[in-house]
């Protein structure tokens, strides 16, 4: 349920394109070539169908097209690199992922293929997209593991600071805009010009879509809810010292940043309180919209309230790869581990009860509270939590720098 979770990449749309009753236009063609990998115009149009509800006006402008194209270029670079270093997604991994989608739709494989065909999606292309998602998540985990080394001294310094205690309780909902500093002087002028145009959150969203070099630009830079102690220290200091909601410009090695503080929370939690819980997670995907996913979650909730076995339904339907095999069991959960919406519902749910479906940035959840206890937080656990927080602080920068390296080394031909 954290970063780099399975199926984190936006999937291809299955919505058929409407006929355009205007002058003839090119309906497909090569939009870009990355090394030897082509990105088709139809790929970009398909991706737009997924995100258009989150775009002001829901119209494919030149800026939206550019951001989607950049997003797909980054994905192609990551897949190519993963294959170059010898990573492979086994047939069984891909089969299991596809069968999981089919099972969640109460279909067998043939039924899924028929649905895809009805939507105009080639099964071989669909299977390749699933393969690419597996590779992207695998290579990101590998890069983070290899490039982020947290020393014992860093952990000790972290534990002796205020951050480990006070910031662990606080979460912020942020939007982020970045101009990368390939030309620092030009980037600094650009970020200040952008900042001068921002008077509201809508302005920030529009400027992010038009100008940001960040991976969440197409979503208006929305980073979701994040614990303060998992943000870069540069961001934390600025959030503490600037009034907001517009924060910045801020300069880092990666470039120049603007933040928009949507909301800040300081939950009243007891660090030693742990909750034993299990959950079911279902996500929107290629053949199931967000609304259809909500309907599925409601149906699963009704079955659970009618006496269905929670663990069995989790094994059949849950898409949280880390807990599905264990029947959705998350073990003993410590405050600060899950996103705020999950923790809030966990606290509201009585011992032994099942929560109604609720939504987080990862999808629709149903949880069951199986136990509560006062935790004995040993030094080993504290140091492990500190290492995780320090890794999260560095992760975005490390992955961003890695992507910059991939772009610099690749042949990228963007067609006009």
53: tokens are 């509800």
What is the 8-class DSSP label of residue 349?
S
The answer to whether the CB of 175 falls within 8 A of the CB of 220 is: yes
The answer to whether the CB of 74 falls within 8 A of the CB of 403 is: yes
Q: CA 174, CA 156: separation in Å to the nearest integer?
A: 28
Q: CA 302, CA 306: separation in Å to the nearest integer?
A: 6
Helices 109-118 and 91-104, packing angle to 10 deg: 80
366: tokens are 């149903």
Sorted by sequence, the CB contacts under 8 Å of residue 264 that are 6+ apart come out as: 170, 171, 172, 173, 239
Q: What domains lie within the chain, and their CATH numbers?
A: 30-145 (1.10.4030.10), 171-265 (3.10.50.40), 273-374 (3.10.50.40)
DSSP string for residues in 156-194:
HHHHTSGGGTHHHH-EEEEEEEEEE-SSHHHHHHHHHHH
Question: Whose CA is closest to 261, among 285, 236, 278, 284?
Answer: 236
Tens-binned pLDDT, residue by residue, of the chain (416 aa): 333 333 333 333 333 333 233 333 445 688 889 988 898 888 888 778 767 776 777 788 888 888 889 889 999 999 999 999 999 888 888 888 888 778 877 888 899 888 888 877 778 888 888 888 889 888 998 999 899 999 999 888 888 775 555 556 678 899 999 998 778 888 999 999 999 999 999 899 989 988 898 878 888 888 888 888 778 888 988 988 888 799 989 998 888 999 999 988 765 444 457 899 999 999 887 778 888 999 999 999 999 999 999 999 999 899 887 788 889 999 888 777 788 889 999 999 999 999 999 998 888 999 999 998 876 556 667 777 788 888 888 888 888 889 889 988 989 888 87
Q: How many CB atoms lie within 10 A of CB 88?
A: 12
């Amino acid at each position: 349920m954290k970063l780099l979770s399975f199926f984190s990449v936006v999937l291809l749309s299955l919505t058929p394109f409407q006929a355009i009753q205007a002058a003839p236009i090119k309906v497909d063609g090569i939009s870009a070539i990355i090394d030897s990998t082509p990105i088709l115009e139809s790929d970009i149009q398909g991706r737009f169908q997924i995100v258009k509800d989150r775009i002001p006006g829901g119209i494919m402008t030149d800026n939206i097209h550019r951001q989607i194209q950049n997003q797909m270029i980054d994905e192609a670079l990551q897949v190519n690199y993963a294959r170059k270093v010898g990573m492979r997604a086994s047939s069984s991994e891909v089969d299991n992922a596809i069968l999981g989608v089919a099972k969640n739709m109460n279909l067998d494989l043939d039924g899924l293929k028929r649905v895809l065909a009805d939507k105009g999606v080639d099964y071989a292309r669909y299977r390749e997209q699933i393969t690419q998602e597996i590779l992207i998540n695998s290579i990101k985990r590998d890069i983070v593991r290899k490039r982020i080394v947290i020393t014992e001294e860093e952990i000790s310094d972290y534990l002796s600071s205020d951050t480990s205690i006070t910031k662990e309780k606080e979460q912020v909902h942020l939007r982020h805009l970045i101009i990368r500093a390939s030309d620092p002087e030009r980037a600094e002028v650009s970020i200040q010009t952008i900042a001068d145009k921002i008077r509201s959150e809508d302005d920030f969203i529009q400027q992010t879509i038009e100008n940001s070099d960040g991976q969440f630009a197409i979503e208006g830079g929305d980073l979701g809810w994040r614990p303060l102690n998992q943000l870069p220290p540069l961001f934390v200091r600025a959030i503490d010292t600037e009034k907001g909601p517009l924060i910045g410009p801020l300069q880092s090695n990666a470039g120049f940043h603007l933040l928009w503080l949507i909301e800040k929370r300081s939950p009243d939690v007891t660090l030693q309180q742990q909750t034993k819980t299990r959950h079911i997670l279902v996500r929107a995907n290629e053949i199931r919209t967000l609304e259809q996913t909500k309907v599925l979650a409601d149906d699963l909730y009704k079955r659970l309230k009618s006496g269905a076995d929670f663990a069995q339904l989790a094994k059949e339907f849950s898409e949280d790869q880390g807990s599905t095999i264990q029947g959705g069991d998350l073990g003993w959960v410590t405050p600060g581990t899950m996103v705020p919406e999950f923790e809030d519902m966990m606290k509201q749910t009585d011992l032994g009860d099942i929560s109604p479906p609720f939504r987080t940035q990862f999808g629709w959840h149903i949880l069951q509270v199986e136990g509560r206890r006062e935790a004995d937080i040993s030094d080993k656990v504290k140091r492990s939590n500190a290492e995780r927080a320090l890794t999260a602080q560095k992760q975005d920068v490390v992955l961003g720098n890695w992507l910059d390296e991939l772009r610099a080394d690749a042949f990228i031909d963007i067609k006009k």
